[in-house]
Amino acid sequence: MANGLPNPPCAVLTADAARSLVDSVDAFLFDCDGVIWKGDKLIEGVPETMELLRKMGKKLVFVTNNSRKSRRQYSKKFRSLGLEVTEEEIFTSSFAAAMFLKLNNFSPEKKVYVVGEDGILEELKLAGFECFGGPEDGKKNIKLEADFYFEHDKSVGAVIVGLDQYFNYYKMQYARICISENPGCLFIATNRDPTGHMTSAQEWPGAGTMVAAVSCSVQKEPIVVGKPSGFLMDFLLKSFNLETSRMCMVGDRLDTDILFGQNTGCKTLLVLSGCTSLPELQDASNNIHPDVYTNSVYDLVGLLQK
């Protein structure tokens, strides 16, 4: 870092850079938490930004690591905030988890145990898989009494761990015992985000904290299907006739959004409206640098109209 400025090639978004960026891409991939909204509160200028980019003929796709909702549920959330977004334009880590099993020919005779919420359960059911766990198991307790033996379903062939506000000791033990004792049981993580803007007021522990707990208990690393894994991009490319070099990933996290874009060959735009602050971006220890950064997606509107 020199003169207090970010290390190259990261640069602040200017009017010329904004025009160059928009001219060079056909599609914008937007993260949601911290970019489009915080909790259930829309970030200022998002509708105007989406409208302008669509008028310019750009494809908009929404790629979120938040597994709490399914694509159907996210489409409903977009509509509740006054944004028209179809299910086909939404790619979630819950959907990615279900598609990972489908593309890897997961046996229909096997079940899936879910440490997570309704989004994962719904996507699994839509993909034709039998699953259980989720919020219901958040109500279950364990008493560590003498000779207590924890029963589990030996037909579980995969455990999926995602963001779970109902995470408890029961779920951790169920996941642990399935992964450890059921032969060939897959350990899948929707993502490893340490925190996220689950509400508009502050950040909260992310799915990565649940994943870390289960990972520690089984002494095994999971298969990660959300950002920055390339699996989500592979599936996205099968859905749209686009080249990654003609896409721009817009996100608020360096280690997921920006790294995802870089790993898959996209251009990258970091917005400072979510998890990453300017001091964090400029810190000498940071080695993930977006092509450009700006305060929020709304800056695109002002810069493009200059």
* CATH number of the domain that residue 288 is part of: 3.40.50.1000
Portion of the chain with pLDDT greater than 70, in percent? 97
Does the pLDDT of residue 34 top 90, yes or no?
yes
Does the pLDDT of residue 237 top 90, yes or no?
no
Identify the pLDDT of residue 8: 53
Does the pLDDT of residue 1 top 50, yes or no?
no
Identify the pLDDT of residue 200: 82
Same domain, 55 and 150: no
**Sequence-ordered list of residues with C-beta below 8 angstroms from that of 20, at least 6 positions apart, any chain:** none
In a domain, 91, yes or no: no
In a domain, 72, yes or no: no
Is residue 33 part of the annotated active site? The answer reads: yes
Is residue 31 part of the annotated active site? The answer reads: yes
Is 33 labelled a binding residue? yes
Same domain, 209 and 245: no
pLDDT category of residue 93 using cuts at 50, 70 and 90: very high
Identify the pLDDT of residue 4: 45
User: Number of folded domains in the chain?
Assistant: 2
Same domain, 245 and 155: no
Annotated catalytic residue within 23, 33, 118, 193: 33
**Sign, CA torsion 73/91/51/250:** positive
Identify the pLDDT of residue 9: 55
pLDDT (tens digit, 9 = 90+) per residue, 273-290?
Answer: 999 999 999 999 999 999
User: Domain range for residue 29?
Assistant: 11-65+228-305
Annotated catalytic residue within 16, 26, 31, 137: 31
Q: Give the E-state strand segments of the chain in sequence order.
A: 11-12, 27-30, 37-38, 41-42, 59-64, 90-92, 111-115, 130-133, 156-161, 186-189, 195-196, 204-205, 223-224, 247-251, 267-271, 292-294
pLDDT (tens digit, 9 = 90+) per residue, 114-130?
Answer: 999 999 999 999 999 99
Same domain, 252 and 176: no
Is 31 labelled a binding residue? yes
Same domain, 148 and 220: yes
End position of a domain, from candidates 224, 249, 279: 224
